[in-house]
Amino acid sequence: MQGLMMNTPLLITSLIQFAAQYHSDTPIVTRSTEGPVRRSSYGEIFARAQRLANALIDYGIKPGDRIATVAWNTDRHIELYYAISGIGAICHTVNLRLADEELIYILNHAEDRLVFFDTDMAEIVARVQPHTKSVERFIAMSDAAHQPEVAPADTVDYESFIAAASEHHDWAVFDENTAASMCYTSGTTGDPKGVLYSHRATVLHAMASCYASTLNLRTEDVVLPVVPMFHVNAWGIPYSAPIAGTPLVMPGPKLDGQSLFELMDAEGVTMALGVPTVWMNLLDHMDKLGRKPAALESVVIGGAAASEAIIDRFELDHGVTVNHAWGMTEMSPLGVVNTLKPKFHGLSRDQQMPIKLKQGRAIYGVDMCIVDDDGQELPRDGMTSGRLLVKGPWIVSEYFKAGESALTPDGWFDTGDIATLDADGYMLITDRAKDIIKSGGEWISSVGLENAAVGHPAIKQAAVIGVAHPKWLERPLLVCVPAGDERPDLDEIRSYLAEKVPKLWLPDALEWLDSLPLGATGKVLKADLRDRFAGYTVG
């Protein structure tokens, strides 16, 4: 027997419609690419998204067409999210830090018809334009007075593009499984792959993001997503904040510690989200001033592991709560978020720390299990580690144009992460499957060793890779960026680490670099380090 309830499709438009209706005057503040801070609101964003939707249809955009954005976190970018998906087209957010060849590959693979770009991206866009096969028109996300000097021919400015269009739009109602947006994976292994999000997945993910035990978005918060809108939809914040009527502060192109601090301080930001490298820079600035941005209460750290050092600096030095989170482009991205269950509240800080360092706790909507190399499920005992598999309504099933399932025969997605799970649902990533160091018969967690190493006062950043060893096949090489002038030797670092990690993990070699190679999403490029230290042997 079927239930007798309404079958209202879960469409992205409903999110902004809700916010425009009930949180119309709630501010959306943007540090614009042009420079000054610009003030908009949910009401205004919705009105302008209606205008933009009409302009796109007037131009000839049809359902299913792909439209690229090469843009920072701004109010106009939010308008694009809603207008493009709302007419049944696909908002393809392109990572603007990619190399030209990767940009060209992605634009051609997606067959984008239009490209909306921020004006500081004009030179890059002009360089790649001759190599694009499907792009008909480039739109500079500014007004007529702020046009870039170099830009592809026929570039029109955003404000002129929408100026003549009507401010009223009858939003279409269609199947909730329709594609809404697309983001390519970083492509650290092989060509980048397109993840095509549906309306249904995006709305469910947005609702789940608001749970108190996930991001706990509240009407009384002021949220700043440092994580870019071109990187898994800024972890879904432009979709989840409208549900909670949460004010947003969009940082535009200035993501250095001082600029973020000043914006957060001035706009009363209570919560911010980003990757560890961003927070290191903010923390350095906070230390310099001896205070936190006035209203900042919490930060969410994801995309790479949060170390004990970074958690302590936020929590102990500045009274800012840290919530660790984990996800992937293929997961929209939220997988787990770390909040402490009440039974852990009474523990000492030292006892809580191993739990806080875990990537997070299971959230309703993401099924997880760990398996061995033969696919046999492993115990959820917090000790045994295995390949982490996930399943759920906001997880990829197939990559764009791949023509084949991305799943295991029983319908799981293999994350490529090695993790432990415990009975409470806490998940700890011990490594990427491709980064783990196989020493003799034992596995050494590069992430675990890196996290321990950055606790040393002389080490600012650390990366661990496996290098060849005649007896053990592979042993860890620790590559560090110094925090100051001091560069302790291997023996000193080994004795520091000896209290923190198993003896077997202690690095066999140490190298100092001025900086680590970072990829387009701010993560350390281990592949570059492996190339750099190719042929390195120890033992």
**How many of the chain's residues bind ligand ADP (CB under 6 A)?**
22
Of the pair 242, 448, the CB lying nearest ligand ADP is at: 448
Of the pair 126, 325, the CB lying nearest ligand ADP is at: 325
Q: Show the tokens assigned to 12.
A: 């992205």
Give the CA radius of gyration of the chain.
23
CB of 328 to ligand ADP, least distance (A): 4
Distant-in-sequence, close-in-space partners of 111: CB < 8 Å, separation ≥ 6? 66, 133, 134
Give the active site residue among 123, 377, 438, 442. 438
CB of 159 to ligand ADP, least distance (A): 32
Determine which residue in the list 156, 280, 304, 378 makes contact with ligand ADP, applying CB under 6 A: 304
Determine which residue in the list 40, 54, 132, 186 makes contact with ligand ADP, applying CB under 6 A: 186
Contact call for residue 97 and ligand ADP (CB under 6 A): no
Q: Which stretch binds ligand ADP (CB under 6 A): 46-54, 165-173, 324-332, 368-376?
A: 324-332
Contact call for residue 359 and ligand ADP (CB under 6 A): yes
Q: Which stretch binds ligand ADP (CB under 6 A): 71-79, 242-250, 410-418, 501-509?
A: 410-418
Q: Report how many helices (DSSP H) and strands (DSSP E) the chain contains, helices first.
A: 17, 25
Q: Is 185 a catalytic residue?
A: yes
CB atoms within 10 A of CB 2: 5
Residues 487-506 that bind ligand ADP (CB under 6 A): none
Determine which residue in the list 52, 232, 370, 462 makes contact with ligand ADP, applying CB under 6 A: 232
Q: Helix, strand or coil for residue 22?
A: helix
**In this structure, what are the phi and psi dihedrals at residue 348, rounded to the nearest 5 degrees?**
-70, 165
CB of 214 to ligand ADP, least distance (A): 14
Determine which residue in the list 69, 93, 142, 329 makes contact with ligand ADP, applying CB under 6 A: 329
The string of DSSP codes covering 314-371 is IIIIH--EEEEEEE-GGGSSEEEE----GGGTTS-HHHHHHHHTSSEEE-TT-EEEEE
CB of 324 to ligand ADP, least distance (A): 6
Q: Which stretch binds ligand ADP (CB under 6 A): 12-20, 196-204, 325-333, 396-404?
A: 325-333
Peptide bond into 333 cis (omega under 30): yes
Q: Which stretch binds ligand ADP (CB under 6 A): 13-21, 138-146, 303-311, 312-320?
A: 303-311
Closest residue to ligand ADP in the complex (CB): 329
Q: Is 443 a catalytic residue?
A: yes
CB atoms within 10 A of CB 457: 12
Contact call for residue 417 and ligand ADP (CB under 6 A): yes
Contact call for residue 387 and ligand ADP (CB under 6 A): no
Phi-psi group of 119: left, alpha or beta (phi > 0 → left; psi -120 to 50 → alpha; rest → beta)? alpha
Nearest-5° Cα angle at 493, 488 to 497: 160
Rounded Cα distance between 205 and 251, Å, is 23
What number of CA atoms fall less than 13 Å from residue 24's CA on the CB side?
Answer: 5
CB of 280 to ligand ADP, least distance (A): 15
CB of 434 to ligand ADP, least distance (A): 10
Burial of 486 (0-12, 13-18, 19+ CB in 10 A): exposed
Q: Helix, strand or coil for residue 459?
A: strand
Contact call for residue 327 and ligand ADP (CB under 6 A): yes
Contact call for residue 310 and ligand ADP (CB under 6 A): no
Contact call for residue 185 and ligand ADP (CB under 6 A): yes
CB-based contact 92:181 (threshold 8 Å): yes
Q: DSSP letter for 139, please.
A: E
Contact call for residue 333 and ligand ADP (CB under 6 A): yes
> Which residues does the annotation mark as catalytic?
185, 330, 438, 443
Binding site for ligand ADP (CB under 6 A): 185-186, 231-232, 302-305, 324-329, 333, 359, 415-417, 429, 432, 521
